[in-house]
Structure 1
């Protein structure tokens, strides 16, 4: 449920023209989603594809839709963006960080009408969606490359080590400069 599949199925029924959805992935809620899809009527032809590699899934679609209710920093969004795949996603977790200046296009999680509007916009203006996809691809290449991410992790650990060393130095100075406690000679009693 947390991946927002139910939101996507509901949004498809709000669109002004029929659409074809291919839902990729596997999980315990599939039977419930298939029932929802059957009840959606003729507004959407919905296929459940099961689990498959992202690259294969992207080849089956013109737009990737990630209607998640909760995420951290989803690799599928990074993979879609890096591939230049048009992506409609929700404003959850680290997704706004991935989108950067394009984050205004993100949809609130669980908001069926907003997701339907984003899908309608994609269907109605594929050139704008393609331009956004290319801008997002460039952003991901700049800020989420392996080299950039490794540098970020290395920098984080370097800062932690610097803080630890600074704390140890302060502790050493504090012991050396601490006044003797009155009434004690330093010998054990």
Structure 2
């Protein structure tokens, strides 16, 4: 398991939205022990603390997440389409990642916005699905051409930010994984790796032979 700090706190920063747009809030996940683990601290001066890992922008009213930035400067640009599945049993959410320059890094689109923009599913580079209630990751997939570049690690942290912005149970993984998934989990940073259980079951690869 990688070394390094595992827990941290959240900074709540003022957010400036577009005129006429819904009021927004910004939450920054910060590694370190300056405040009790998991606490939310208001920083009215708007200065981003050192050690931040996630920057989540969401509407104050409702559950719309606008963007999630990750402190991974060497990872590819990614933007996302969120696909809620409230009728699934149990209810789930899928976050699909794309890596072209049509949108700024971290942008999260709704399904309707993606349709209007002409986004095609076949252009995706990765996807993550989780059970929304318990926060349990169900599937993680990264296309072969995008592997070993930090895409999966970045995607799972974005999903963690989306889940947190809605007050859900923190995202975590159980012990069922493919060989690719096991290699990926072993390379996660400490603040993410401890949320993934030791492997208990080997699953078949999601990549067609």
Q: Same fold (TM over 0.5)?
A: no
Q: TM-score range by the shorter chain?
A: under 0.3
- Relative to its length, the structure with more helix (as a share) is 1
TM-score between both structures, scaled by the size of structure 2: 0.26
**Of Structure 1 and Structure 2, which has the larger fraction of its residues in strand?**
2
TM score, norm. by length of structure 1: 0.28
